[in-house]
Amino acid sequence: MSADADAAALRNRMLRNMTGALELYTVYLGERLGLYRALAQGGQATSAELAARTGTTERYIREWLEQQAASGLLAVDDPAAAPLDRRFSLPAGHVPVLADLDDVRYRAFNGTEIVRAARSLADLVEAFRTGGAPPRDAWAPEGRPDYNRATFLHLLGRSWLPAIGVVDERLRALPSARVADLACGAGWSTIAIALAYPLVHVDGFDLDVDVIAAARRNAAEAGVADRVTFFAASADAMSARYDVVTILEGLHDMARPVAALQVARDVLATPGWVVVADELTEDQFTAPASLLEQYHYGWSVVGCLPAVMGDPQTAATGAVMRPATLRRYAAEAGFADVEVLPVDADTLRFYLLTR
């Protein structure tokens, strides 16, 4: 390709990406204001009807509806009708992605994630210069995306863990297994394990006091508060004995992953297993890389690496934690074996660590 053609293609790509970013901001508005859910539940609406349904202002809603229809996220019955008469609807295929929080295909939280990621960018410019970490993002949990909620609730205990024979067997057996779920975030994995395995008790650990408070509320609502306990504490602070330790999309987020794995190994019963799920990366650095690898790298630069740069002893892993890195961390922590598991988990790769 000539340099001119290359420049033209890149300009197009920037326009496409810019449009995509703006679209995600409008998805953020739709999700936060309940606009998609109102369309899914109440059926097609004019701008005035949707505004009335959601307690919002007609003029803003009209512009949002037109933009959503122009982008193909919503359907409009008659584009030629007068603006106030047009009726907009959420196509059936878009309902699970934009309106149904319980569906594993739900992605409206992407809008929230992209807005949230942008908040720390100005501080990140400075952090790139100083080598430190931008200040912690103190968004309230209510404002946070529950990005793993549906997948963990539907798939972790019903499909992914059952695919790991020895672990599944122990979780179903007596005496009741004790599970530690490290970097548990808002507790969806912890809750999913308790729901899938009625005998077990699960302790969730996360550094972030706000997400732990949300996790406690989530567990109470899910009816498992009597079998899960949450600790606002670092993974390496645990001391009880556990049959299974899980670290689900959390190891690369730890500044000191080897320390966490060492403690996990120390607290394991015999037999005992550590189950790690982390990003499904390429085995080695590749450029240009797959879309998924580009996605993981994007999060790594703006979120996952900055989050761990404040610790003077950080391993500075980043989101693109390859199997070789995990194997090195596990060996340094004293594990005898790391098995990459044939669990089909979309964007995650599962590992089984044994002592």
Give contact residues for ligand SAM (rule: CB under 6 A): 148, 182-185, 188-189, 205-208, 211, 234-235, 248-250, 253-254, 260
Q: Please report where in the chains the tokens 């996990």 appear, as a residue.
A: 264
Axis-axis angle for helices 209-222, 188-196 (nearest 10): 30
Closest distance to ligand SAM from the beta carbon of 123 (Å): 18
Q: What tokens were used for 287?
A: 């450029």
Report the distance separating Cα 94 and Cα 126, nearest Å. 39
Closest distance to ligand SAM from the beta carbon of 74 (Å): 29
Report the distance separating Cα 314 and Cα 302, nearest Å. 17
Report the distance separating Cα 210 and Cα 195, nearest Å. 23
Closest distance to ligand SAM from the beta carbon of 193 (Å): 12
Q: What tokens were used for 84?
A: 């106030």
Closest distance to ligand SAM from the beta carbon of 332 (Å): 16
Of 51 and 211, CB closest to ligand SAM: 211
Q: What angle do CA 276, 308, 233 make, to 5 degrees?
A: 65
Of 31 and 249, CB closest to ligand SAM: 249
Of 205 and 335, CB closest to ligand SAM: 205
Whose CB is nearest to ligand SAM? Answer: 185
Of 171 and 307, CB closest to ligand SAM: 307
Closest distance to ligand SAM from the beta carbon of 228 (Å): 14
Closest distance to ligand SAM from the beta carbon of 122 (Å): 22
Of 248 and 305, CB closest to ligand SAM: 248
Report the distance separating Cα 124 and Cα 268, nearest Å. 38
Tell how far CA 232 is from the center of its chain.
19
Q: Please report where in the chains the tokens 């409009």 appear, as a residue.
A: 76
